[in-house]
Amino acid sequence: MRKLLSHLILCLFFFNAGFCQVTNRISERPADLKDGIQTSTPAKEGMNAAVINDIVKAIDSGFYPNRHGLLIYKNGKLVLEKYFTGRDQKAWAGDIGVVEHNVNTLHDMRSVSKSVVSACIGIAIAQGKIKSVHQKIFTFFPEYEAFDTGTKKDLTIEHLLTMSSGLQWNEDIPYSNPENSEMLMTASKDPLAYIFSQPMAAAPGTVWKYNGGTTQLLAEILRRATGKTADEFANENIFKKLAIADYYWALFPGTKNPIAASGLRLRPRDMLKFGILYQYGGKWQGQQIIPRSWVEQSLLSKVARPETHYSAGGYGYQFWIFKDSIQGKAMEWPAAVGNGDQRIFFDRKNDLVVVMTAGNYNKWDIKNNAYAILKKIYESFPMK
């Protein structure tokens, strides 16, 4: 009783600084929502709760700016699930003001959408709807045969998946800039013709160049091969099987076609479900949803990625590969990446998945970003 009274006195003394509030938040097990995600605490999974506590406090203080959600999944269990208030946007709709994010808040995935499209392609191949990643793309687009010339004749699905098509494309400038290739594609009367009409800047498969247009081609290939749009196919073959009922995928204006490169909105918990699929070979609760071989190939570096506004590394099938050294150990993290600091990081060796959402859209030079938080998390446990 004396210890309890002392703790209560200390809490009252430090309450204004938020000390007890944050400490209690991280010592509690995340809510068990009976959604297939097991929960635990950082301490029970061998993590230093004080380090995790410091991260949460730093987010609260704004040291890591405009963070919206942080989920840490260690040893097959969700050990931290925190949401924060911050200014946000909705893709293709603009600023939506300050949002009090919570477990039920749909959040822009931006280019994490690309990783979901990739998963759909892998499933369609397993279903026999698409022959293989080596299938030539113009076999799906006979009405565009006028563009099937020169080195474009060599373009395959794998070139689209790895963003090594060789097509001239510029998404290195702000999306508010009218010269941005994705914006020009979206505004064109025929987005597919716009993509196909771009000149070749390199031979297919030789140079990585960020290109949301190639993701749109993947979605159209999926539609032509399966008869379902990317959102319909994802819902039937992934979302329903993960019990993801609440999602939104923006459509191109005046069409039924989803904006494949960036239009998906999910709850962070459902982001985690998708991450768990890739962490554990495509399985969810014993059911093989994505072929294991597709998962393995997707997370391998297929093409070198030069350093732009992200660190250098590699690129898989619509997944980024980051390389760095932590505590003197060479590390490699596959990740689903979205504008604004939306992230799903994978580390199989240390059995870790980290999901983050934020509102830092088009801000590439923020030092204390998702990657900085990830590296801080590694200070909380002994690495393998």
- Identify the three-state secondary structure at position 324: strand
Q: Which residues of the chain have pLDDT under 70?
A: 1-27, 308-310
User: From CA 130, how far away is CA 223, in angstroms rounded?
Assistant: 11
- Residue 57: per-residue pLDDT: 98
- Identify the three-state secondary structure at position 222: helix
Instruction: List Cβ neighbours of 230 (8 Å cut-off, separation of 6 or more).
Output: 116, 117, 120, 219, 222, 223, 249, 258, 260
- Residue 327: per-residue pLDDT: 87
Instruction: List Cβ neighbours of 177 (8 Å cut-off, separation of 6 or more).
Output: 183
- Residue 27: per-residue pLDDT: 61
- Residue 323: per-residue pLDDT: 92
Tokens of 242: 């993960």
281-335 per-position pLDDT tens digit? 999 999 999 999 999 999 999 999 987 656 779 999 999 999 999 988 999 999 9
pTM for this model (two decimals): 0.92
- Residue 308: per-residue pLDDT: 67
Residue with tokens 């892998």: 122
Under 8 Å between Cβ of 136 and 217? no
Q: Where are the domains of the chain?
A: 2-104+302-380
Instruction: List Cβ neighbours of 205 (8 Å cut-off, separation of 6 or more).
Output: 158, 159, 162, 164, 166, 303
Under 8 Å between Cβ of 288 and 127? no
232-289 per-position pLDDT tens digit? 999 999 999 999 999 999 998 888 999 999 999 999 999 999 999 999 999 999 999 9
The CB density around residue 244, as the number of other CB atoms within 10 Å, is: 19
